[in-house]
Amino acid sequence: MPRADIHRIEPRAVTPGGRLVVSGSGFDVRPGRVPEVTLGGQAARVLRASSRSVAIEVPADTPGGEQPLAIEGLEGSTPLVSVGRAITTGVHQVDSPAIDAEGRVYATLSGQRGQQTPVSVYRIGADGVREAFVSGLGNATSLAFGPDGHLYVSSRFEGTVSRIAADGEPTKFAENLGVAFGLAFTADGDLLVGDRSGTVHVVTPDGRHRPLAAIPPSVAAFHLAVDPGGDVIVAAPTLNSCDALYRITPDGVVTRWLEGFGRPQGLAFDRHGVLHVVDALAGDSGIHRITPDGARSLVVSGAGLIGVAFDPTDGSMVACSDDTIYRI
């Protein structure tokens, strides 16, 4: 039997339930037989296999961190795959998490529309301890830190944005914003707020707001991020099988910027100014890296991913499904 060799693993980072494609040569695939595969010591389900490629599903109980990938018949060095470590569960995210200057992660318990949850926003420390941080907001939706260091939280039910004090006390900052979904700050300190019925608003530091631009409404959410040049990027998934990202200039000019997404959701720029977008469709989801020229590559695969953020203290990635936060 020829020696099995791995040439490439795509992607090199996953969360439990994600999918990996291992390309190489000499894999022992015969009629009715595929090689056994483990990741982090856990048996992985082989989705498809040939002598040159093996696709697997990452087991739900795979431990986090750099984990060895083992394929039956493979000799020599063992490749490592970065598996996201769950830092908390029991949240309800409908957008990306937020991270403060100390690396603490903030997650919502959003609830069904109109539901009053006992906690609106949780804070997760570097030690993994989760604490109730904000209460009393209806359907806490999107999170963003302002230039003043305060956390801002939108409510899709109330159509408001609240500013959160250091002790977690909310104060109404802006209202009458429709189905308020998606928050991002500009370099000038203005807050951009999405209304998924079709408007992106600009809210000045004194709480006054005006419409910036109109885009087609979304059946689910608006997700916003501001690029290094000052344009706002918007993900607004529809019922179509193929959606685009929108780019809006500071003076409100809208373009369909990047086509070919299935269901684009949370988005964030890393410390190098590179955009990352969550895309999910038909049970498969992942985080894609978008270069300035629009080229995209899958960097994280996971099950049910919704949002992504970057830790300002070390540049690491934090991703989320609707109920779990992962650090990658």
Q: Could you please report the per-residue DSSP string of 248-303?
A: E-TT--EEEEEEEESSEEEEEE-TTS-EEEEEEETTEEEEEEE-TTS-EEEEEEES
Q: What's the token pair of residue 267?
A: 């988005």
**Cα–Cα dist 118/272, whole Å:** 38
- Among residues 49, 83, 117, which one ends one of the domains? 83
**Domain match, 94 and 54 both:** no
Instruction: Quote the number of domains for the chain.
Output: 2
Cα radius of gyration (the chain)? 21
What backbone phi and psi angles, to 5 degrees, belong to 324? -140, 140
Give the count of alpha carbons within 13 A of 188, CB side only: 10
CATH number at residue 77: 2.60.40.10
Residue 162: its pLDDT value, please?
98
Mean pLDDT by 10 residues, the chain (328 residues): 79 96 91 92 95 95 95 82 96 98 97 91 94 97 98 97 98 97 97 97 97 96 97 94 94 96 96 96 86 92 96 97 96
Residue 283: its pLDDT value, please?
66
CATH number at residue 239: 2.130.10.10
**Domain match, 242 and 317 both:** yes
What range does the domain containing 118 cover? 86-327
**Domain match, 47 and 135 both:** no
Residue 116: its pLDDT value, please?
87
Q: What's the token pair of residue 78?
A: 């063992």
**Domain match, 115 and 184 both:** yes
Q: How many residues does the chain have?
A: 328
- Among residues 65, 83, 101, which one ends one of the domains? 83
Burial readout 136-145 (b: 16 or more C-beta within 10 A, e: otherwise):
ebbbbbbbbb
**Domain match, 187 and 75 both:** no
**Domain match, 174 and 254 both:** yes
- Among residues 83, 118, 140, which one ends one of the domains? 83
Q: Which of 124, 10, 16, 20 minimizes the C-alpha distance to 63?
A: 16
Provide the residue type at 172 as one letter: K
**Domain match, 22 and 104 both:** no
**Domain match, 46 and 97 both:** no
Q: Which of 309, 302, 265 minimizes the C-alpha distance to 284?
A: 302
**Domain match, 116 and 153 both:** yes
**Domain match, 260 and 293 both:** yes
**Domain match, 53 and 93 both:** no
**Cα–Cα dist 138/306, whole Å:** 20
**Domain match, 281 and 153 both:** yes
Residue 199: its pLDDT value, please?
98
